[in-house]
Structure 1
Amino acid sequence: MDPAQRYNEKLARLEAVIKGKEPDRVPITPMMSIFHAHYAGYKSNDVIYDYQKNKEAALKVANDFDFDSMIILTGLEATFMSLTFLRNAPDVVPVARFMQAQFHEVLDDVYTKWPGIELGDDTQPQFIGREIMKVDEYELFTRDPTDFLNRVAFPRVCRAMAEPGSPEANAAFAQYGAELAKFGAAQGDLIQSLAQAGVPTFPTAWSYAPLDVISDFLRDIKNIVLDIYRHPDEVKRATEALIPLLIESAKVTGNIPPEVQKALGTEVVECFFPLHLNEYLNPKLYNEFYWPALRKVLEEVIAMGQTPYILFEGRHDAHLETLLELPKGKVIGVFDKTDPRKVREVLGDHVILSSGPPNSLLIGGTPQKVDSFMKDMLNDCKEGGMMVYPGVDGGISGEAKPENVQAVVEAVKKYGTY
């Protein structure tokens, strides 16, 4: 099968699941940060700093493993940055969505640590977070979130921008712009190269849960939990104020140029939502502080015609029923620690299920154990449409054994057909 035929077959399989139809088999849709580096004989910092090596490693994986799509993510969460630029520089929002090592070197952000800088050369980048907004600044933030992000938070987050308008800050900002352009070009080249190898990539928009923005980027997780009890009204007003921005983020990043949409051969646009606080909140708090604002964003994103691709980090068991409030078949759900059988029990085929073996199995197991796991999961869960997400708890680990990853592919071909 030539690459073009391979591409069309995989794309048809993916689109069928997303559109509620039955494909020939369950598609395999992994994400990885450094598995491809190790598989190609590189260290993590090789692919993080060298776009060409990153592409070479990704293509080696694409050619050796029969995945239906691949997400290569060498960056860390930076929705803070994209929201900061949303009003005045919307064109850079899509490429500013993740913090890259190159951006970190220029901006000296306080959120992240990187291999070869603060960490060892072959380690995973780390998002560490920080308290940026003080508790008495809620009102100032709520009055105009974009203005607060630009004038108050941005200089605190990026140490190179601590004195806006200074020669040092101006130089750093110019360098950041240049690095954004390089990264954007490299990403376009990677997607095109994967397509030429027969592996499709869906256009992807970006949004976020409102309360997670405050927790991840402004107050830090330990403070937001206290704020919910001590300053509940301020927290609610702040999350409400973020709703329009997060809808606009999806709209701007999902505005795919027609020529790009045509080249990729699909009208599907996914919108990525990583959920972080969900596991930390009991149902009462989740339904009062987290879900209402997130639901409004999700409903608008669905109304735009995008497909929310939600990463439910941690255990989402206690909150599954809330997803029944969304339109049926319009959300893809990757469930990190929630048993996919539980998802099926509560939700049936209301969401497009994405699940797979955990990294503990891919790292410490055997192909035989992987085969057994996959057989049981697919037999129990594939009806109603699903996707397989190897290394469901964070994407395929850099320490995963290639033979175990290959066993996932072979098991899907054996047990994942319809």
Structure 2
Amino acid sequence: MEPAELYRQRLDRLEAVIKGKEPDRVPITAMVTIFQGHYAGYKAKDVILDAAKNKEATLKTAADFDFDSITALTGLEGTIMSMTFLKSAPELIPAARFLQAQYHPILKDVYTKWPGIELDDDAHPQFIGKEIMKVEEYDQFIENPTEYLNRVALPRICPGLAEPGSPESNAAFSKYGAQLATFGASQGDLIGSLAAMGFPTFPTAWSYSPLDVLGDFLRDIKNIVIDLFRYPEKVKQAVEALTPMLIESARITGTVPPEMKKALGTDIVECFFPLHLNEYLNPKQYDEFYWPALKKVLEETIAMGQTPYILFEGRHDAHLETLLELPKGKVIAVFDKTDPRKVRDVVGDHVILSSGPPNSLLIGGTPQKVDDYMKSMLTDCKEGGMMIYPGVDGGISGDARPENVQAMIKAVQKYGTY
């Protein structure tokens, strides 16, 4: 089949599920960080630090594995950066959304460690939690979150920008801007090359759960959990201050030029939401501190015409029923630890279910065990529409065995038809 035909076939398959229709079979949406490098004979640092090697490795992986879409994500969470620039430089947001290894020597950010820099050449990049905002600074943040992020938080997060207006800071920001442009160009080139091979990519906006912004980037998870007990009203006020900013982030990043939609052949815009604190909270805390603000951001994102793509990290079992409060069929829900059968039992086809084999199976299993797992899951869960997200707990691991990934694909082709 010609690449243009493959592109249309795969895009039709993905669009059908997202729009509540029945495709020919369940689509496979792959995300890789290191797997493509290992498959092409590279170490982690090679594909993390070198865009050309990452492109080569990603295209080789795409050619050899019959996914319906593939995303090579080489960065780590950087929503705090895009929020900092929300008002002053919104054009930077798409590229600043992730912290990349190339930015690290310039910014000297305290959140990340990278292979070939602080870590071994073949290590996975790491995000390190850090207390940036002191508890006594809640009021300052609540009064003007944008001012706080730029004047107080950013210098602590990025010592390379610690003295705004200084020659050193100006030079660092100039280098950072150049790297953002380079990264954006390399991403566009990779997406274009994948499209030429027959792999579609949806335009993607970015947002976040307000409480997760506090936990991941400002107070650190251990502190925010304590704050829920000691300073509950301050937490609520901070969440309220963040909510409109995260709605605005979705709006800015989800505003896609008509010519881009035409080139990609789709009117769907996904908006990515990674959830982190959900597993740490009991239902009462979740319903009081987490869900109301997240629900508001999700509802506004849906009202913009975007499709929230939510990664429910950890166990979400205790909170599944809240998903019934959202419009039916308007969110893609990826569950990395919650059994997809449990999701079907509680919410049925109210969400577009995304699940797949865990990395433990792709690393330590056999092709037959992968086949058995996929047959059982697809038999139980594919009705009502679903997607397969291989390596559901973080994307396909760099240690996954290629023969197991191939077995997963063949199992979907056998058992995932409608």
Q: Shorter-normalised TM-score: what interval?
A: over 0.9
Counterpart amino acid of residue 61 in structure 2: V
SS of 1:236 mapped into structure 2? helix
State yes or no: 1:280 paired with 2:280: yes
Deviations 1:278-329 (A, max 9, x none): 0000000000000000000000000000000000000000000000000000
The residue aligned with 1:357 is 357
SS of 2:309 mapped into structure 1? strand
Alpha-carbon shift at residue 167 of structure 1 (Å)? 1.2
Counterpart amino acid of residue 205 in structure 1: A
The residue aligned with 1:7 is 7
CA distance in 1: counterparts of 2:99 and 2:75, whole angstroms: 5
The residue aligned with 1:197 is 197
The residue aligned with 1:167 is 167
Gaps of 5+ in 2: none
The residue aligned with 1:151 is 151
The residue aligned with 1:301 is 301
The residue aligned with 1:116 is 116
CA distance in 1: counterparts of 2:76 and 2:146, whole angstroms: 21
Alpha-carbon shift at residue 162 of structure 1 (Å)? 1.4
CA distance in 1: counterparts of 2:281 and 2:31, whole angstroms: 27
Deviations 1:57-87 (A, max 9, x none): 1111111001001111000000000000010
Alpha-carbon shift at residue 97 of structure 1 (Å)? 0.2
CA distance in 1: counterparts of 2:30 and 2:211, whole angstroms: 27
CA distance in 2: counterparts of 1:261 and 1:5, whole angstroms: 18
State yes or no: 1:376 paired with 2:376: yes
CA distance in 1: counterparts of 2:147 and 2:405, whole angstroms: 46
CA distance in 1: counterparts of 2:141 and 2:114, whole angstroms: 30
CA distance in 2: counterparts of 1:119 and 1:375, whole angstroms: 39
Alpha-carbon shift at residue 120 of structure 1 (Å)? 0.5
Counterpart amino acid of residue 126 in structure 1: Q
The residue aligned with 2:16 is 16
The residue aligned with 1:100 is 100
| Structure 1 stretch displaced more, 398-407 or 164-173 | 164-173
The residue aligned with 1:416 is 416
The residue aligned with 2:220 is 220
The residue aligned with 1:397 is 397
SS of 1:110 mapped into structure 2? coil
The residue aligned with 1:335 is 335
CA distance in 1: counterparts of 2:202 and 2:105, whole angstroms: 30
Alpha-carbon shift at residue 256 of structure 1 (Å)? 1.1
The residue aligned with 1:51 is 51
SS of 1:23 mapped into structure 2? coil
Alpha-carbon shift at residue 403 of structure 1 (Å)? 0.2
Alpha-carbon shift at residue 104 of structure 1 (Å)? 1.0
Counterpart amino acid of residue 318 in structure 1: A
CA distance in 2: counterparts of 1:404 and 1:342, whole angstroms: 25
Counterpart amino acid of residue 146 in structure 2: T
CA distance in 1: counterparts of 2:370 and 2:231, whole angstroms: 47
SS of 2:103 mapped into structure 1? helix
CA distance in 1: counterparts of 2:252 and 2:44, whole angstroms: 31
Gaps of 5+ in 1: none
The residue aligned with 2:291 is 291
CA distance in 1: counterparts of 2:101 and 2:350, whole angstroms: 38
| Structure 1 stretch displaced more, 141-150 or 293-302 | 141-150
CA distance in 2: counterparts of 1:145 and 1:290, whole angstroms: 19
Counterpart amino acid of residue 245 in structure 1: M
Alpha-carbon shift at residue 105 of structure 1 (Å)? 1.4
Alpha-carbon shift at residue 199 of structure 1 (Å)? 0.4
CA distance in 2: counterparts of 1:199 and 1:209, whole angstroms: 30
Counterpart amino acid of residue 313 in structure 2: E
CA distance in 2: counterparts of 1:85 and 1:348, whole angstroms: 39
CA distance in 2: counterparts of 1:17 and 1:144, whole angstroms: 41
CA distance in 1: counterparts of 2:191 and 2:329, whole angstroms: 27
The alignment's C-alpha RMSD in Å is 0.5
Counterpart amino acid of residue 118 in structure 2: E
CA distance in 2: counterparts of 1:135 and 1:300, whole angstroms: 30
Counterpart amino acid of residue 42 in structure 2: Y
Runs of 4+ in 1 over 6 A off after TM superposition: none
SS of 1:271 mapped into structure 2? strand
Q: TM-score, normalised by structure 1?
A: 1.00
